[in-house]
Amino acid sequence: MRKNTCELIRRELDELNLDETCSTAAIEHLRECAMCREFHEKQTKLRQIVGSLGTVAAPADFDFRLRARLANESSSAASHFNFVDWPVLQRGLAAAALLLVFATGAFLVRSMLNGPVPVTETAKESAPTVKESPRQLEQAGSFPAPGTVKHEVVTLPPGKRPQRNKMDARAQVAVSNNRRLATIDSSFSGAEVIKGTEPLASSAAIPIDALSLQSFTVSVDDGRGNAKTISVPAISFGSQRLMHNGNQFAPKRVW
Amino acid sequence: MNTLTTIDELGFAPALQQDVLEDTTSDHALLEATRSGDQDAFAELVSRYRNQITSYIYRMTNDYDGAVDLAQETFVRVYRAADRYQRSYAFSTYIYRIATNLAISELRKRKRRKLVSLTGFFQQSDGSEAKEFNPPDLRPLQDSDLVETERRNAVQRAIGTLPEKYRAPLILRDVDGRSYDEIARILETSEGTVKSRISRARGFLREKMHAYL
């Protein structure tokens, strides 16, 4: 019972301010209890010592340093903005440039794959002469009659040096060696092989028949038995198609 | 039937008095002016609190230069957060809370760096935290001022050995003379916890300072 009273009185004394007076019950208890009296005296002295520490003054240049710090903070915040945002911008620009390059490349590849094949020019650039290889001579026997086949053999102009691909390069070598390597045929069944005994003048360049619906086939032989046939689908143009089929919408006798 | 003795028991945020709202020189008014770009208002706020905040942080950290730096950091944070400041509590509570957090953060950094006082320390036999040992100088002194200075230094060192959770409420109560209610708001804890911690802090100090009492 007494212990509880001491605890309560000490708690009350502890929570009081130094300048406050304690309750009458506490005063009476302090008269009777020497331990609580000693506690109260020590506690008061301790609080007086701690309270005597007082306030430490800030340095005289506190305001000046604070202003400088705030100014520095604002300037560093601005530079921080640039430092942070520029890399983001650069990354964005790099990504955009990468996308642009990729899109351009894709467009070029697609245009190369799907674009119209310049047949006549390719034919002109290809090796025009015919190689008399045994395989082609055998195949020539199975070809349809020349009257039903339209073939174009194109000669390479002497000054022209096409370098489009490996096949063209081979053709160039062959031409320089005075060998005929390629036949060009616009039929479904294959190209006719022109014999080397025929004069080159007879195989003059013939333009592609615009009215023909047949595909354009080019057979290339490198003279060592390696032959390759390239088939180009039929090419038609709107006006040609109209001419071939007739203009259905135009009035009679008017084209 | 329970009766309410104060309006605070209703659970509302403490309302500001009308005279505080209208007083152009109140802390709130000065911060409002600072928010609108008035540098003089902020300078007035700094002049009001620079000594208190510097002193409080110094008592917490026992390092004057560091305390000045942290006090400046406190004002920088107040300035930067002026737009977000809410007038729920007194400005002094707000700025002391910032200062307390900075001081405690600094103390934890020091603890991580294992900085100890050159006066030495003893490791506790039970494996608890190492505590600084500051034996009182029992030799007679010639001047009473020296005695007083020595006593203050001893108290300051003893406070420096208190754990953070006891140190802050003790300084706020016994050095700065703040009320339990305000200390509870600054430390964001209950008033009962504050009273308990202050009582324990005084108990620790009594043990350490028994030669001076």
Give the tens place of pLDDT for each residue, A67-77.
998 888 777 76
| Amino acid letter for position A57 | A
Q: Is residue A247 part of a domain?
A: no
The CA-atom distances, in angstroms, between A191 and each of A218, B112, B114 are: 7, 89, 93
* Cα radius of gyration (chain B): 20
Which of B68, B151, B206 is closest, CB to CB, to A59? Answer: B68
Report the alpha-carbon distance of residue B98 to residue B93 in Å, rounded.
9
Picking from A14, A41, A55 by the largest number of B CB atoms within 10 A of its own CB, the best residue to mutate is A55
- Final residue before a domain boundary, out of A115, A137, A171: A115
Task: Clarify whether residues A94 and A42 are in a common domain.
Answer: no
B68/A58 touch (CB, cutoff 8 Å), yes or no: yes
Closest by CA position to A217, among listed A172, A152, A145 = A152
Nearest to A189 by CA among A220, A147, A231: A231
**Confidence band for A171, pLDDT divided at 50, 70 and 90:** very low
Same structural domain for residues A96 and A138? no
Nearest to B175 by CA among B38, B75, B9, B60: B60
Closest of A109, A228, A209, A116 to residue A168, by C-alpha: A228
Instruction: Tell me the residue length of chain A.
Output: 255
User: In angstroms, rounded to a whole number, what is the distance separating the alpha carbons of residues B102 and B189?
Assistant: 17
Q: Are residues A208 and A136 in the same domain?
A: yes
Ranges of each domain in chain B: 16-114, 116-213
For B143, the 3-state DSSP assignment is coil
User: DSSP labels for A234-252?
Assistant: ----HHHHHHHH--SSSPT
Nearest CB to A53; choose among B52, B59, B180: B59
State the average pLDDT over residues A204-213.
54
3-state SS, one letter per residue, for A98-117: HHHHHHHHHHHHHHHHHCCC
Question: Is there a single domain that holds both residue A149 and residue A233?
Answer: yes
User: Residue A48's closest chain B neighbor by CA?
Assistant: B174
Q: Does some domain include residue A56?
A: no
- Residues in B touching A65 (Cβ below 8 Å): 68, 72
pLDDT of residue A125: 46
Rounded to 10°, the helix B191-208/A2-15 angle is 100
Which residue matches tokens 């921080």?
A: A80
Q: Are residues A223 and A236 in the same domain?
A: yes
Provide the residue type at A97 as one letter.
Answer: A
> Could you give the dihedral angle defined by the CA atoms of residues A204, A207, A212 and A218, in that order, rounded to the nearest 10 degrees?
70
* Band of residue A203 on the pLDDT scale cut at 50, 70, 90: very low
**Residue at A108 is within a domain:** yes
Q: Are residue A98 and residue A127 in the same domain, yes or no?
A: no
Rounded to 5°, angle at Cα A98 from A97 and A100: 65
Identify the pLDDT of residue A86. 54
Digit-coded pLDDT (tens) for A88-110: 677 788 888 899 999 999 988 88
Which CATH code fits B16-114? 1.10.1740.10
More confident residue, A215 or A28: A28
Q: Who among B43, B79, B205 is closest to A46 (CB)?
A: B205
Q: And the tokens for B71?
A: 């006090």
Task: List the structure tokens of A60.
Answer: 């005289």
Domain count along chain A: 3
Interface of A with B (CB under 8 A): 11, 14-15, 17, 42-43, 45-47, 49-59, 62-63, 65-66, 69-70, 73
Mean pLDDT to the nearest integer, B174-199:
93
CB pairs under 8 A between A and B: 85
Range of the domain at A92: 82-115
Residue A219: pLDDT above 90?
no
Most confident of A38-42, A85-89, A127-131, A239-243: A38-42
Question: Closest partner residue to A63 among B43, B156, B175, by Cβ?
Answer: B43
Cβ atoms A47, B202 nearer than 8 A: yes
Residues A22 and A87 reside in one and the same domain = no
**Which range, of A14-23, A141-150, A244-253, B143-152, averages the lowest pLDDT?**
A141-150
Q: In CATH terms, is domain B116-213 a member of 1.10.10.10?
A: yes
Q: What 3-state class would DSSP assign to B38?
A: coil
Q: Which of A235-249, B51-65, B85-99 is the least confident region? A: A235-249
Q: A126 and A162 in one domain? A: yes
In a domain, A177, yes or no: yes
pTM: 0.53
**Are residue A108 and residue A171 in the same domain, yes or no?**
no
Query: Same domain for A208 and A142?
Result: yes
Residue ranges of chain B whose CB lies within 8 Å of a chain A CB = 43, 46-47, 50-55, 58-59, 64, 67-68, 71-72, 75-76, 79-80, 148, 151-152, 155-156, 159, 170, 174-175, 177, 180, 195, 198-199, 202, 205-206, 209, 212-213
Q: How far B114 CA sits from the closest chain A CA (Å)?
A: 27
* Same domain as A160, residue A108: no
Residue A62 lies in a domain: no
Length of chain B: 213
Judging contacts by C-beta atoms under 8 Å, the chain A residues touching residue B55 are 54-57
Going by pLDDT thresholds of 50, 70 and 90, the confidence category of residue B142 is low
